[in-house]
Structure 1
Amino acid sequence: MEDSFTKKELELAKSVDLCEVASSLGYTVKKIGKYHTLKEMDSIRIYGKTNWYRWSRQNEKGSNGGSQIDFLRVFAGMDIKEAVFWLLDFAGYKRTESYSTDLTLKHSVKKIAPEKNNIKFVLPQQSENNNFLYSYLQSKRKISKKCIDFFVDKNLIYESKGYHNIVFKGKDENGITRFASMRGVFDKNGYVFKCDVKGNDKNYGFNFVNDKSDKLEVFEGAIDLLSYCDIYDDYKTNKLALGMIADAPLETFLKENQNIRIIRLCLDNDGPGRVASSVLKDKYESRGYKVIDLPPPKEYKDYNDWIKSLRSKKTITMEKYR
């Protein structure tokens, strides 16, 4: 297996969210306490979204648990090589070698067609003002009013009517909104409401475009993107939030903005973020881009953690990466 895949590819395959894998195969994932299970097989336990165990088969070594690769091997009938290819593809990492996608699951669970094929993409209705949006981003996320004003004025973020969620918009090269995600402003008991607007195109992400700049900064989340702009007072370079670690939105952005020459990967400092950054750096350098790995300082998980710390010290005077 080591001869077929690089260490980075194997690490990326094993960083894929196992709950998303199970859901994509047609299973119904349910959260119970600190673990997840499946409605169709409630003896399954998914821990940390990367490993699983099946209590009903605890004596059957080889089919009672393991990684994402083992899950696909046991429940989708894939061999190890097919499983790794499938996971890399699922994460948005493409290889030249192909594999069969005509697979029969070992449980008769009806596969559900993607929502975007059945549901029209409609943006949430806008609130009369953005009071909750400003309050949350300023008090909880420590984003400055100047930064928030910029994105509100560009019609890239707004507050929805009713639940007062923050809506982050992703537009195409013609200025048409193709993607939108929502983030709640009322966190309760550690629960965070986050979701994509139904029917959107996941080939896009929350973005800011400046066709006069040949630089692009790439983030996992929208709030990290805002935090970066605020820290560096940078409202000129192109920005993109993937909303994940898969790079489909990045592929689309580069296709629609062919002036980009330099990519700065500002992904998280956790395991999946570091693996994804390494893989993406190799991938896009091979295409001729200058790619810079630019995470926040190592003591912070992401850019929002960093700005919250800086604001608590009442200073933003660090040296800029340029």
Structure 2
Amino acid sequence: MMKYDNKEWTRRIGIANEVSLVEYCAHIGVPLVPFGSEYRHKEYDSLKVRGNKWKRWSGRSGPLGKFVQGYPIHFVMEYEGTDFEGALKRLLAFAAPDELPLPEGTPKKPAAKYDLDKRLRKVTGVSSAGQAQKVAAGEKERKPFIKPNANGNNERVYAYLTKTRGIDGGVVLEQLKLECLYESAAHHNCVFLGFDGNGNPAYAYMRGTYTNADKAFKGEAEGSIKEWSWRFSPTPQSSVVYVYESPIDALSHITINKERGAEWRNAHYLSLGCVSDNALQKFLQTHPGVTDIMFCLDNDKGGVNATAKLIKKYAPGYSCGAMQPPFGDWNEYLLGRKGEEHETPLEAAGT
């Protein structure tokens, strides 16, 4: 077996960690927007990228939450849910395909704690020796999911979604009744829940309801498992799934179709929680009867690029198509549309 600090592994790790995260995010369809000297995620503005470094606040368990930062390998492990070797392969395939395949053998962690911390800071940007052992072994630490405490009522969430966001009141009430939406006690956020295969809460996307705030809060609860992102199945036996970047986009599109008198209940609705397809992979595994996928991502560079990649990936096994709003995202279109403007279809692909 090769040692962890073998020069061939070390050289490839160095190449991977020099990759521009701005360029890599554009490659995989992560929507970034300029933010001073950095870039931030369009939807989750706690995530910021600059050159080959990234950082974000997560958890929000204290006044400031937990700060996480690192380099490209750590970013790919966190964002795409892969292990150390998988992240290294993806980055090299993007920036230096001639460096593949990887050398034989498995990289091993150094024995000394000091060397371990030093190596991990260099490789992933994380300084915990305990986490380093997991990274070196190709494991990804999974924190327990912490479901936000519920408020005594959902009045603020209902008012925000119907009045500020323009979503149909009946659609919102159905979400509240199904308990996949509620109001948090601490900050009165909208909480969109996702459930695992046993029906237990495993994911929570939160959206602030303070309309006069300079920057509305967006984020996921600590320990959220993106594979179990928010989903809505008014017809559980449907063979069609509509895929969005966020729950509010999905409910906005439902509202548009409902106002037009179009059939909307005979389908599944799924939020990716971004443009990564982890949630879609899990959904298709647990819904073998689905044969058609309609990608309804945002009408921006990130959404359009991600849609093209997802159609290419899933078209061999599913009938795939795409639909985007004429501008912005589905909620922007819901609030700004006039007359009978129609969605702009993208080229569909299928089997």
User: What range describes the TM-score normalised by the shorter chain of this pair?
Assistant: 0.5 to 0.7
Mapped pair 1:85 → 2:99: no
Identity of aligned residues (%): 28
Amino acid at match of 1:52: G
Deviation at 1:16, TM superposition (A): 4.2
CA distance in 1, matches of 2:230, 2:250: 9
Structure-2 change in CA distance of 1:53 and 1:125 (3 Å)? closer
Inter-partner Cα distance in structure 2 for 1:122 and 1:98:
39
TM-aligned CA deviation for residue 149 of structure 1: 1.1
1:118–1:269 Cα change, 3 Å = closer
CA distance in 2, matches of 1:265, 1:137: 23
SS at match of 1:294: strand
Q: For residue 240 of structure 1, what is the aligned residue in structure 2?
A: 270
How many Å separate the matches in 2 of 1:123 and 1:129?
17
1:198 corresponds to: 222
How far 1:265 moved relative to its partner?
0.2
> Separation in 1 of the partners of 2:189 and 2:154?
10
CA contact (8 A) 1:17 1:50 kept: no
Indicate yes or no: 2:253 matched with 1:228: yes
Q: 1:169·1:180 contact (CA, 8 Å) conserved in 2?
A: yes
User: Which has the higher mean CA deviation after the structures are superposed, 260-269 or 201-210?
Assistant: 201-210
Task: Mark the CA change 1:190 to 1:214 in structure 2 (over 3 Å): closer, same or farther.
Answer: same
Matches within 5 A, 1:48-127: 52=51, 72=72, 85-86=90-91, 99=102, 107=122, 109-110=126-127, 113=131, 117=141, 119-127=143-151
**Given the superposition, is the C-alpha separation of residues 123 and 320 from structure 1 closer, same or farther in structure 2, using an over 3 Å criterion?**
same
Residues 218-271 of structure 1, C-alpha deviations (whole Å, 9 max, x = no match): 000110011011111223310100111110010000000111000000001111
**Structure 1 residues 53 and 148: alpha-carbon distance in aligned structure 2, compared to 1, 3 A threshold:** closer
State TM-score, norm by structure 2.
Answer: 0.62
| 2:120/2:127 contact within 8 Å kept | no
Whether 1:129 aligns to 2:146 is: no
Quick one: which of 170, 180, 191 aligns to 1:146? 170
2:322 to 276, 293, 299: 293
Aligned to 1:207: 231
1:274 aligns with 2:279: no
Are the aligned partners of 1:18 and 1:51 in contact in 2 as well (CA < 8 Å)?
Answer: no
Among 242, 251, 257, the residue aligned to 1:217 = 242
- RMSD after superposition: 3.9
Change (3 A) 1:160 1:285: same
> 7, 27, 50: which one pairs with 1:13?
27
User: How far 1:51 moved relative to its partner?
Assistant: 5.3
Distance in 1, matches of 2:107 and 2:91, equals 12
Deviations 1:67-92 (A, max 9, x none): xxxx759xx9xxxxx87823889xxx
Match 2:195 to one of 157, 168, 171: 171
For the residues of structure 1 that align with 2:29 and 2:297, how far apart are their CA atoms?
Answer: 14
Gaps of 5+ in 2: 1-22, 40-46, 54-70, 77-86, 95-99, 109-118, 135-139, 259-263, 346-351
Helix, strand or coil at the partner of 1:203: helix
The answer to whether structure 1 residue 159 and structure 2 residue 158 are counterparts is: no
Residue type of the alignment partner of 2:318? Y
Kindly report which structure 2 residues correspond to 1:309-320, keeping only aligned pairs within 5 A, or say none: 309-310=336-337, 313=338
Q: Judging changes above 3 Å, is the alpha-carbon distance between structure 1 residues 88 and 176 closer, same or farther for their aligned structure 2 residues?
A: farther
Classify 1:285/1:153 alpha carbon distance in 2 versus 1 (closer, same or farther; 3 Å).
same
List alignment gaps of at least 5 residues for structure 1: 1-8, 20-30, 38-47, 55-70, 77-81, 90-96
Q: Is residue 323–residue 343 contact of structure 2 (8 Å, CA) maintained in 1?
A: no
Aligned equivalents of 1:174, 1:109: Cα separation in 2: 33
CA 1:174/1:88 → structure 2, altered by over 3 Å: closer, same or farther? farther
Q: 1:34 aligns with which of 13, 33, 36?
A: 36
**Which residue pairs with 1:64 in the alignment?**
none
What is the match of residue 306 of structure 1? 333
Amino acid at match of 1:216: V
Q: Residues 98 and 306 of structure 1: is their aligned pair in 2 closer, same or farther, counting only changes over 3 Å? A: farther
